[in-house]
Amino acid sequence: MNDDYQYDNQTVKGFIVSSIFWGVAGILIGLWISVQLWKPEWNVPPFFTYGRLRVVHTNGLTFGLGVGAIFGISYYIVMRLAKTPLLFPKLARFHLYLFNIAIALAAVSLFAGMNQSLEYAELEWPLDIGVVILWVIFAVNIFGTIIRRKEEQMYISLWYIIATVVAVAILYIVNNLSVPSGLFKSYSVFAGVNSANVQWWYGHNAVGFVFTTPILAMFYYFLPKSTGIPIFSHRLSIISFWSLVFAYLWTGAHHLVYTPLPDWIQTLAIVFTVFLIAPSWGSVVNGFYTAGADWPKAQANYLTKFFILGITFYGLQTVQGPTQGLRVVSQLIHYTDWVPGHVHMGTMGWVTMTVAASIYYVIPKICKTDIYSIGIANTHFYLVLIGQLIFSITMWITGIQQGALSKAVNPDGSLKYAMVEIIAKNYPYWQMRTLGGVIFTIGMLFFIYNIYMTIRKGKALAVSNA
Amino acid sequence: MAGLHEKLHTRPVTFAVLSAVVILIGTIVTMFYPMLTPQMHPKLENLKPYTPLQLAGRDIYQREGCNNCHTQTVRPLKTEVMRYGEYSKAGEFAYDRPFLWGSKRTGPDLARIGGKYPDAWHSMHFEDPRAFFAESNMPSYGFLNKRKLDAGDVVSHMKALGFPYTSDEINALDGKTEMDAIVAYMQVIGIAAAKKPAIAEAARAEDKNPLSGKPEAVAEGKDLYAANCAVCHGSDGEGGIGPDLTDNVWLYKEGDMGDGALHNIIANGTQPGREIEGGKAKGGMPPFGAQMDKNKIWALIAYIRSIHGK
Ligand code: HEM
Ligand code: HEM
């Protein structure tokens, strides 16, 4: 029985290692661009200017770290919940190779400036086709395995994985529709206001179906697994699943508040945005009560704090997000550094935290050993936490300052600050953000070292057992 | 409902189909349906498709990821309109595939940049933004000067978009650099809807400078001048992108110009063709009225008078 999984486990491990690799690359570029903002000499034209690197950062982490981990860990979860190995093991291995080739080409193409200028859909059309193929392979294997499952009921995590696959397919294909002009350039089939609406329908749901639903799948699977406590409420998870999946798609226009997009679309989006608090908090409450059901037991496991803090940041994120969508708040913080503060609480505090904890769970299982060091994992935890808090808090402060200063007027009604004066005031905060980033990165290095040593330990064990 | 769901999660295919339906409802109402209505495809009457040179510039804008620091949409908020100009209209973007509104203002909004500065300002600024504003974090784009446009590419891009062009326009690309293209693109952004700024006569022509000759005012004016004007008029008023401010020629006319008239030029800037004392303006002088109160402008005038003839 165990041997059936051996090959697939190696594929899962391959995805995890690749995701960590691209994650480190993306994070280092994040540090680089964070320095460029206060030290423009760090721009190296033409390939390494801020305008090009920022896209490598966002894509590297969303698709390299995020999607890589999602592919690998979803395979792991699906096999366990279906109680059967993957239906197409070789295809999954091919998937892994193709994934790495695609990410490498994506990075090169973005350095070279091939860019559709659609946030989170920057890749040019040949790579878009590659991305679609990757998701199709994933879908075939996931659905095939689920259909052939040996366990009748599909657990919550499978719902989220299925919804992810379905949503990403629709979103990605529609938003990338374009007219190519040569291999390296294309123009969107959508124009103007309409293209803005399509893009943010996509953009918000990229966050929804890459940084939310698959991460929730991990959360719902690994929290009960690592604590040994079953999920608090099945009924609550049903309600929050369907209402989340339903409501997310209405909200894209909260990214376009006060733009020329027709008002009714903005207002409708804002209403659903506020509603989204409910299904999001359904999962938060479910998580808290699960761990709370037997706190001493939950606390005994070192991973619980990762999951609980992760879901707490998710909870904060999903209150902050809807607040940002309101017109009175948007007019102040939209376009400012407040938004990167929001983004990184989600990506560092919720996504990376939950993914790292899931990897801590999966890798020892696959390597048939224990984690190398809980002490190092704890150090990792506190460093990324501190790093992230510094990042988000400094950006919230300077974001509000930017918003307020650009509105400030003199007694006679003229503007008080020129744009350049406002920019100059950001420098100390941008420098502190880099400091936060460095601390976060050191934390991640502890994580990687721990995983590396665990894999080594597993190999040594395997040799001595043979 | 729970009972129904029990059945549902033993049936993965039904589950997937149902998720797709649920996902499509919001998608149809907020995205597909509007697309079928004319309100999503407005076009201002005087909006023109990009010329080959402008399109080449727009491609460079996309390639360099300028949209990561610059937005291209002015919100209808009072101070924002003061800072950047007329708020954005839906009909301005009909030829933008895709839109380039952006989501982050690390630098200023560019929706009304067209016509704000002379071409020479832009190319000098692209080469070295910090020569203009010591605290700018915009990358330097001097390398655009060294790269020639490839007319073949531009033609194929024009064709993909179905924009009209003439062979003269294509021939004119010969020898043009990427810098020429990006500057041409800057100059066309937002001009179709840019209202002529309401020329509020900030001062009457016969007004006299109340701060005239006061040493503190001259000193303040000197600082303001160094921060805002020197990039175009030279560090000592000797001229550059903008005219010499120490000579006796004021907007092409020999002889003195009244304090009130000077005040109006600084507050409102000059737009091409605008009637100003002295003739029709050629344009290129940006307005400063939104960022400077009256006394600052009087201080500047006191300073300009102090360097006259030097
Ligand atoms: C109920 C949940 C959420 C809501 C309603 C929400 C709302 C928003 C809003 C309104 C903005 C636009 C801010 C602006 O530009 O003015 C935004 C930006 C963003 N949010 Fe959230 N948020 C939510 C959860 C999350 C989560 C969990 C993440 C995970 C990482 C996240 C990641 C992002 C990102 C990456 C952006 C930046 C988009 C861009 O401009 O490129 N959000 N969010
Ligand atoms: C050392 C850690 C990191 C640093 C220093 C860093 C730095 C930055 C900087 C400087 C920006 C641009 C902000 C701006 O436009 O003003 C940015 C944007 C972004 N980063 Fe990071 N980052 C880090 C980690 C991460 C991680 C781990 C993720 C995802 C898993 C991530 C995802 C993003 C996204 C999605 C955006 C786009 C936000 C937007 O459009 O508003 N970053 N990051």
| Residue B189 alpha carbon to ligand 1 centre in Å | 28
Dihedrals phi, psi of A218, to nearest 5 degrees? -65, -45
How many helices (H) and strands (E) would you count in chain A?
18, 2
Type of residue at A243: S
Q: Is A31 in CB contact (< 8 Å) with chain B?
A: no
| Residue A58 alpha carbon to ligand 2 centre in Å | 6
DSSP state of A442: H
- Alpha helix (H) residue ranges in A345-418: 353-367, 374-407
- The answer, yes or no, to whether residue B1 has pLDDT greater than 70, is no
- Tokens describing residue B88: 């954005």
Check residue B198 and give its pLDDT: 54
Residue of A nearest to B20 (CA): A166
Mean pLDDT across A354-374: 96
Mean pLDDT across A401-423: 92
- The answer, yes or no, to whether residue A405 has pLDDT greater than 50, is yes
- The answer, yes or no, to whether residue B158 has pLDDT greater than 90, is yes
Check residue A1 and give its pLDDT: 43
Report how many Cβ contacts below 8 Å link chain A to chain B: 271
The bridge status of strand A178-180 relative to strand B253-254 is unpaired
Task: Judge whether B61 and A155 are in contact, CB under 8 Å.
Answer: no
* Contact list, B99 vs chain A (CB under 8 Å): 191-193, 195-196, 199
Question: Tokens 């086709």 label which residue?
Answer: A129
- Which residue's CA is minimally distant from atom 20 of ligand 2? A58
Interface of B with A in 39-68 (CB under 8 A): 39-42, 59, 62-68
Which of A18-22, A151-155, A355-359, B56-60 is predicted with the least confidence, judged by mean pLDDT?
Answer: A151-155
Q: Which fold has domain B215-307?
A: Cytochrome Bc1 Complex; Chain D, domain 2 (1.10.760)
- Which residue's CA is minimally distant from atom 24 of ligand 2? A27
- Tokens describing residue B124: 């000098």
- Across the interface, do A187 and B83 touch by the CB < 8 Å criterion? no
- Alpha helix (H) residue ranges in B240-288: 259-268
- The answer, yes or no, to whether residue A2 has pLDDT greater than 90, is no
Q: How far apart are CA B57 and CA B77, in angstroms?
A: 29
- Alpha helix (H) residue ranges in A154-260: 156-175, 192-210, 213-227, 234-248
Q: Is the peptide bond before A46 cis (omega within 30 degrees of 0)?
A: yes
- The answer, yes or no, to whether residue B227 has pLDDT greater than 80, is yes
Q: How far apart are CA B121 and CA B305, in angstroms?
A: 25
- The answer, yes or no, to whether residue B39 has pLDDT greater than 50, is yes
Which of A313-327, A345-359, A400-414 is predicted with the least confidence, judged by mean pLDDT?
Answer: A400-414
Interface of B with A in 226-285 (CB under 8 A): 228
Mutate to test the pocket of ligand 1, among A204, A249, A395 (most ligand atoms within 8 A of CB): A204
- The answer, yes or no, to whether residue A107 has pLDDT greater than 50, is yes
pLDDT of A233-255, one tens digit each? Answer: 999 999 999 999 999 999 999 99
**pTM of the entire predicted model:** 0.94
Q: How far apart are CA A67 and CA A130, in angstroms?
A: 14
- The answer, yes or no, to whether residue A412 has pLDDT greater than 70, is yes
Q: How far apart are CA A90 and CA A100, in angstroms?
A: 16
Task: Judge whether A124 and A109 are in contact, CB under 8 Å.
Answer: yes
Mean pLDDT across B178-191: 96
- The answer, yes or no, to whether residue B2 has pLDDT greater than 60, is no
Interface of B with A in 154-183 (CB under 8 A): 156-157, 159-161
- CATH code for the structural domain at B52-186: 1.10.760.10
Task: Judge whether A33 and A430 are in contact, CB under 8 Å.
Answer: no
pLDDT of A220-235, one tens digit each? Answer: 999 999 999 999 999 9
Q: Is A324 in the pocket of ligand 1 (CB under 6 A)?
A: yes
Q: How far apart are CA B262 and CA B280, in angstroms?
A: 15
**Which helix (H) or strand (E) element contains residue B157?**
helix B151-161
Q: Which ipTM was obtained for this model?
A: 0.95
Q: How many CB atoms lie within 10 A of CB B221?
A: 25
| Residue A228 alpha carbon to ligand 1 centre in Å | 32
Check residue A5 and give its pLDDT: 85
Q: How many CB atoms lie within 10 A of CB A194?
A: 26
Check residue B259 and give its pLDDT: 87
A1-189 classified as CATH 1.20.210.10: yes
**A143, A163, A255 ranked by CB distance to B103: nearest:** A255
- Across the interface, do B31 and A55 touch by the CB < 8 Å criterion? no
Which residues does A186 contact at the CB level (< 8 Å), separation at least 6? A116, A124, A125, A178, A179, A180, B160
* Contact list, A152 vs chain B (CB under 8 Å): 10
Dihedrals phi, psi of A216, to nearest 5 degrees? -65, -35
Query: SS3 for A178?
Result: strand
pLDDT grade for A437, boundaries at 50, 70 and 90: very high
- Across the interface, do B99 and A195 touch by the CB < 8 Å criterion? yes
- The answer, yes or no, to whether residue B152 has pLDDT greater than 50, is yes
- Of A319, A393, A310, give the one whose Cα is nearest residue A348: A310
Fold agreement between B52-186 and B215-307: yes
Which of A139-143, B57-61, B71-75, B114-118 is predicted with the least confidence, judged by mean pLDDT?
Answer: B114-118
- The answer, yes or no, to whether residue B199 has pLDDT greater than 60, is no
Mean pLDDT of chain B: 90
Whole-number Cα distances in Å, B292 to A309, A403, B83: 48, 19, 11
Q: Find residue A44's DSSP bridge partners.
A: A48
pLDDT grade for B250, boundaries at 50, 70 and 90: confident
Task: Judge whether A310 and A347 are in contact, CB under 8 Å.
Answer: no
Domain boundaries, chain B: 52-186, 215-307
In terms of Cβ atoms closer than 10 Å to its own Cβ (0-12, 13-18, 19+), residue A31 is: middle
pLDDT grade for B277, boundaries at 50, 70 and 90: low
pLDDT grade for A411, boundaries at 50, 70 and 90: confident
pLDDT of A26-44, one tens digit each? Answer: 999 999 999 999 999 999 9
To the nearest whole Å, the CA of A205 is away from the closest chain B CA by 10
- Which residue's CA is minimally distant from atom 19 of ligand 2? A58
Question: Tokens 């960590």 label which residue?
Answer: A20
Q: How far apart are CA B274 and CA B280, in angstroms?
A: 5
Task: Judge whether A196 and B101 are in contact, CB under 8 Å.
Answer: yes
Mean pLDDT of chain A: 96
DSSP state of B254: E
Domain boundaries, chain A: 1-189
Give the percent of chain A with pLDDT over 70.
99
Check residue B125 and give its pLDDT: 96
Q: Is A211 in the pocket of ligand 1 (CB under 6 A)?
A: yes
